[in-house]
């Protein structure tokens, strides 16, 4: 992520902000770059989730924390299977899959989530990686 002043914000700092839910400011210009990031807004509960079994009072907080865990597991940009993400976050694979779809949406930051076979195609195992947001 790059601040509007041109300073590169390291992924480790973004991960810290996601993990702690704290708003961090650019150390060079003081702009609240990270606070304005869609993924951090989502983790902070400011971006609404919706779904067929959605119960706003109960699910908003749970899903906000969950997308933060999935994002944190993927931020290094490595290829991971749903099971490997599960090993990191403890979340069910179906939930992880749903959160990866959320990350592609504009309101969650328009991330590019790539998918490919892991090993023999006939095994039907997939792995995923998170790339930088697709900027218009």
Verify binding: residue 34, Zn ion, rule CB under 5 A. no
Shortest distance, CB of residue 39 to Zn ion, whole angstroms? 18
Per CB under 5 A, the list member of 8, 12, 20, 28 interacting with Zn ion is 28
In this chain, which stretch among 5-13, 52-60, 62-70, 76-84 interacts with Zn ion, using CB under 5 A? 5-13
In this chain, which stretch among 9-17, 21-29, 92-100, 125-133 interacts with Zn ion, using CB under 5 A? 21-29
Per the CB < 8 A criterion, the answer to whether 44 and 65 are in contact is no
Shortest distance, CB of residue 51 to Zn ion, whole angstroms? 36
3-state secondary structure the chain: CECCCCCECCHHHHHHHHHHCCCCCCCCCCCCCHHHCHHHHHHCCCCCCCCCCCCHHHHHHHHHHHHHHHHHHHCCCCCEEHHHHHHHHCCCHHHHHHHHHHHHCHHHCCCEEEEEECCCHHHCCEEEEEECCCCC
Per CB under 5 A, the list member of 14, 17, 18, 26 interacting with Zn ion is 26
Shortest distance, CB of residue 60 to Zn ion, whole angstroms? 30
Residues forming contacts to Zn ion in the complex (CB under 5 A) are: 3, 5, 7, 26, 28-29, 31
């Amino acid at each position: 992520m790059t601040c509007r002043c041109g300073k590169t914000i390291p992924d480790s700092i973004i991960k810290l902000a996601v993990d702690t839910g704290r708003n961090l400011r650019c150390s060079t210009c003081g702009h609240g770059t990270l606070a304005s990031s869609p993924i951090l807004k989502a983790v902070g509960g400011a971006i609404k989730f919706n779904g067929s079994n959605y119960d706003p009072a109960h699910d908003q907080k749970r899903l906000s924390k969950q997308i933060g865990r999935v994002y944190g597991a993927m931020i290094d940009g490595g290829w991971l299977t749903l099971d490997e993400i599960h090993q990191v976050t403890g979340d069910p694979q179906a939930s992880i899959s749903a959160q990866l779809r959320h990350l592609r949406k504009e309101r969650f930051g328009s991330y590019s989530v790539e998918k490919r076979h892991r090993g023999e195609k006939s095994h039907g195992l997939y792995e995923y990686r998170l790339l930088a947001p697709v900027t218009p």
